[in-house]
Amino acid sequence: MTQQLDKDISVDYVEQFKRDGYVVIENALPKEFIEQVSQEFMVAMNDKVRRFNLKRVQSQDGREKGNSNVQLDFRPEGGNHDLNRWNMHLPSNPTFINEQLIANPQVLNTIEHFLGQNPIAFILASDTPYPGSGFQNIHQDFPRFGITVNIPLVDFTEENAPIEVWFGTHTYNSTGKSEFHTREVDLSKEQLEEIVANVPSKRMLIKAGSILIRDQRMVHRGTGNNSELPRPCLSIWYKNIEEFSLMGLTIPIPHRIVADTFARVALWMRRQGRGNSGKVQNQKLLNFGNFFGRVVEEMSGSDRDYRRVISEKMWRNFSPQMQSLLRYASVQGKLNNTPRSIIGSFILGAIGVIFTINGLLLSAFEIKQD
């Protein structure tokens, strides 16, 4: 079992998080537990790699050795999320949708401090650079404030693609670092280039069992994997849905049927982009499908759509806190009846139609790779 944080340490974490944009909680989870999760994870991950039929590739652009490009622009080759790198949503089974991983009391202390008493866990996913993965472009996950919790399933080492962070960049503005705030920080290409040139970075050589909690606005990237083994890491995203707004407008949660419809459209884009020949067919469409999928998940407050429905049995076994974190997930038997909004459905519908047209255009006109 994990120990409860005492208040003083928690304050320490809060100060570190504000200053650096991240904290590491060492030895938060027992090694044996992580080993068991890791084993089951690799079975599911390898199965996905086989199903997707994307073959490992050699880098054409030196990404396995370095990469000074900036901004979120994945170039999926040999994987679905950059060079030999894979992203996977966690299957809805008790190994992964597990309170120790998602509602860990030490982690929630920090999260609730920043996101309020009623956060949601809206993306339950993972990143796995396989051997030969490259350096990603330097990026922010989101310009809006939210928190990513990374749970490594193996030790991070210099060789096996540790996450690299540019600390303090979560509150960066035109004059450099500023006091901590929770407003949007949308860094331009030029600002990111300046950060890479001037701000020191750090590779997170953390051990399995430790947990990295990071501000989603902080600049970071996955690095190259020069080891012989994949480097799986869970990635759980939290936010305060009540305060979620776009361009000053608070967006309420849409009905499940609308979210599911556009989740299907995003999936169609990704399938089209990936093709089935062993090589990505249309990178722009694949990236766009990934991006659109995230927008749908963010707006609907969950990545448990018609595909990753949570079973009745699992739901009944969750603590009230876990149920609250997942309150916008699809649950069998309609046990989860958190209210939804017609206005939210309308807004996601309108945004979804624009994205769908864009995707259709990309599918029709984008020059395909051979």
> Which residues would be at the binding site for ligand AKG (CB under 6 A)?
81, 127, 129, 141, 161, 163, 220, 222, 233
129 binds, among Fe ion, ligand AKG, none (CB under 5 to 8 A by kind): ligand AKG
Q: Which residues contact 321 (CB under 8 A, 6 or more apart)?
A: 103, 108
Give CA torsion, residues 172, 174, 176, 179, to 10 deg: -60
CB of 87 to ligand AKG, least distance (A): 6
Q: In the complex, what is the shortest distance from the CB of residue 235 to ligand AKG, in angstroms, rounded to a whole number? A: 7
Query: Which one, 129 or 252, has the nearer CB to ligand AKG?
Result: 129
CB of residue 158 to ligand AKG, shortest distance in Å: 14
Q: Cα–Cα distance between 235 and 292 in angstroms, integer? A: 18
Residue whose CB is nearest to Fe ion in the complex, by number: 141
Q: Which residue is nearest to ligand AKG (CB)?
A: 222
CB 366 within 8 Å of CB 314: no
* Cβ 116 vs Cβ 52: under 8 Å: no
Q: Nearest distance from residue 186's CB to ligand AKG, in Å?
A: 16
Q: Residue 151 or residue 310: which is nearer to Fe ion going by CB?
A: 151
Q: Which tokens in the block code for residue 113?
A: 């401090």
Judged by beta carbon, residue 189 or residue 313, the one nearer Fe ion is: 189
How far is it, in rounded angstroms, from Cα 320 to Cα 103?
A: 10
Q: Which is nearer to Fe ion, 77 or 141 (CB)?
A: 141
- 354-360, long-range: CB within 8 Å, 24+ apart, which pairs? 355/262, 355/265, 355/266, 355/288, 355/292, 355/295, 356/262, 356/265, 358/288, 359/265, 359/268, 359/269, 359/285, 359/288, 359/289, 359/292
Residue 25 C-beta: closest distance to ligand AKG, Å:
17
For the chain, give me the number of helices (H) and strands (E)? 10, 11
Q: Which is nearer to Fe ion, 78 or 146 (CB)?
A: 146
d(Cα 249, Cα 258) in Å, to the nearest integer?
Answer: 19
Q: Which of 147, 259 has the CB closer to Fe ion?
A: 147
Binding partner of residue 77 among ligand AKG, Fe ion, none, CB under 5 to 8 Å per kind?
A: none
Task: Residue 25: name its binding partner from ligand AKG, Fe ion, none (Cβ under 5 to 8 Å by kind).
Answer: none
Tally of CA atoms within 13 A in the half-sphere of 239 that contains its CB: 25
- Which positions ≥6 away from 124 have C-beta within 8 Å? 89, 90, 96, 97, 102, 234, 236, 237, 303, 304
168 binds, among Fe ion, ligand AKG, none (CB under 5 to 8 A by kind): none
Which amino acid, residue 140?
Q
Residue 127 binds what, of ligand AKG, Fe ion, none (CB under 5 to 8 Å, by partner type)?
ligand AKG
Q: Closest CB to ligand AKG among 256 and 294?
A: 294
Binding site for Fe ion (CB under 5 A): 141
Q: Which does 81 bind (CB under 5 to 8 A by kind): ligand AKG, Fe ion, none?
A: ligand AKG
* Shortest CB 128 distance to ligand AKG, Å: 8
CB of 221 to Fe ion, least distance (A): 7
